[in-house]
Amino acid sequence: MKLAVGPLLYLWDRGTALDFYAELCDAPVDIVYLGEVVCSKRRVLQKDDWPLVACALEAAGKEVVWSTLALIEAESELATMARIVDGSAGHFEANDMAAVQHGAGSPFVAGPHLNVYNEATLRLMVEHGARRWVAPVELPLTTIATLGKSRPPGLEIEVFAYGRLPLAFSARCFTARSQNRPKDDCGFICREYPDGITLYSREDQPFLTLNGIQTQSAAVQNLWSHVDELRAAGVDILRLSPQSQDFAAVIRAFRDATDATGATTPFPESALPGGYCDGYLRGEAGIDRAV
């Protein structure tokens, strides 16, 4: 079973991001997704930085995939998407149907933000060139297993196995709004929140996370204890979404679990508010956690 590191969903400073990808060169992961998925205004790295990062990762034996925006709102964003797709040599992740249509005929990864919930839609993706499907985070394992049994030959299945769950996108920037700033003059305030802003319920329980225009769960989905079930369901790849703390330890724990017949070492407690969850995989409320 392969391990993938998903695209960086937060706005980190350039030095932190470069150090993060340099460490991934030596990490026991197989695939690294690069690029911006959340906000086109964000510039984690400069235009000339990305090719250098990609070359270093590929030299270290990693497969590099270029991710595209999940919410495209402007002609400039369409142009950027087209440039990414055209320059990726078939190694791109489509998170919007515009990317699927633009890259039709080239191999691509059908990202988790596409609405693929049944056999017919999955076949449609394959007809357009999909070689890998990242299941939407809310799909239960029973559905993933059903789709896995009927999948077209050669199609890989990837599951979001670790990280705050990406739940929704909006044209409004919640992070800017929380600081009484307009979206067009945000000052990149999200840079001050390397793991987003945690929202609490009236009962003072962590509930959601604000990440620019993206709403995430406060709890971190952690499917470490379900590795054997995921393998039995036909899952080929586990996606680990970057976080600012303890990510190297997370990678090691998942690598040990996928290489062994079963995970035996307790997983460290979450460094982020909200703890862990795995409810969606079991067909329950996403925030739930199995005892």
The answer on pLDDT for 264 being more than 80 is no
Question: Domain 2-163+220-269 adopts which CATH fold?
Answer: TIM Barrel (3.20.20)
- Strand-pair partners of 208: 199, 217
pLDDT, average across residues 21-30: 97
Q: Which residues contact 44 (CB under 8 A, 6 or more apart)?
A: 8, 11, 12, 14, 17, 36
Q: Point out the least confidently predicted range of 113-122, 135-144, 182-191, 258-267.
A: 258-267
Mean pLDDT over the full length of the chain:
94
**Burial code of 97-112, b = ≥16 C-beta within 10 A, e = fewer?**
ebbbebbeebbbbbbb
pLDDT at res. 265: 65
Tokens linked to 224: 């470490």
6, 129, 133, 223 from 2: Cα distances, Å: 13, 21, 14, 14
Phi/psi for 232 (5° steps) reads -65, -25
| Percent share of the chain, pLDDT over 90 | 86
Asked if 263 and 227 touch (Cβ cutoff 8 Å), the reply is yes
Residue 263 in this model has a pLDDT that exceeds 70:
no
Consecutive H or E run containing 58:
helix 49-59
pLDDT at 285 over 60: yes
* Residue 47 pLDDT > 90: no
Q: Are 124 and 133 in contact (CB under 8 A)?
A: no
Amino acid 61: pLDDT: 97
The residue ranges of every structural domain in the chain are: 2-163+220-269
For 61-68, what is the mean pLDDT?
98
Q: What is the pLDDT of residue 262?
A: 55
What is the per-residue pLDDT for 291? 59
Query: Taking residues 240-254, what's their average pLDDT?
Result: 95
**pLDDT at 44 (0 to 100):** 79
Taking 90 as the threshold, does the pLDDT of residue 55 lie above it?
yes
Token readout for 286 is: 């996403």
| 284 CB neighbour count, 10 Å cutoff | 14
pLDDT of residue 184: 86
CA angle 275, 281, 286 (to 5 degrees): 50
pLDDT digits (tens, 9 = 90+) for 83-100: 999 999 889 999 999 999
Q: Check residue 110 and give its pLDDT.
A: 98
As a whole number, mean pLDDT of residues 149-160 equals 95
Three-state secondary-structure class, residue 33: strand
Which residue from 279, 266, 272, 163 is spatially nearest to 221, judged by alpha carbons? 163
What is the per-residue DSSP string for 154-188? Answer: T-EEEEEEEEEEEEEE-SS-HHHHHTT--GGG-TT
What amino acid is encoded at 59 in this protein?
A
